Chain A
Amino acid sequence: AQSVTQLDSQVPVFEEAPVELRCNYSSSVSVYLFWYVQYPNQGLQLLLKYLSGSTLVKGINGFEAEFNKSQTSFHLRKPSVHISDTAEYFCAVTDSGGYQKVTFGTGTKLQVIP
Chain B
Amino acid sequence: GAVVSQHPSWVICKSGTSVKIECRSLDFQATTMFWYRQFPKQSLMLMATSNEGSKATYEQGVEKDKFLINHASLTLSTLTVTSAHPEDSSFYICSATHPGLWEQYFGPGTRLTVT
Which of A's residues lie within 8 Å of B, judged by CB? Answer: 32, 34, 36, 41-46, 49, 51, 90, 94, 96, 100-102, 104-107
Q: Please tell me which one of the listed residues B4, B43, B97, B102 contacts residue A90 in the complex, with CB atoms under 8 A apart.
A: B43
> How far in angstroms is the closest Cβ of chain B from A66?
19
Further 15 A-B residue pairs, CB within 8 A, beyond A43-B6, A46-B103:
A36-B106, A41-B109, A42-B108, A43-B95, A43-B106, A44-B95, A45-B106, A49-B102, A51-B102, A101-B49, A102-B46, A102-B104, A104-B43, A104-B44, A107-B43
Number of inter-chain CB pairs below 8 Å: 47
The 7 closest A-B pairs by CB, nearest first: A43-B106, A44-B106, A43-B108, A106-B43, A104-B43, A43-B109, A104-B44
Q: Nearest residue in B to A102 (C-beta to C-beta)?
A: B104
- Assuming A100-B97, A106-B43, is B107 touching A43 (CB within 8 A)? yes
> How far in angstroms is the closest Cβ of chain B from A9?
9
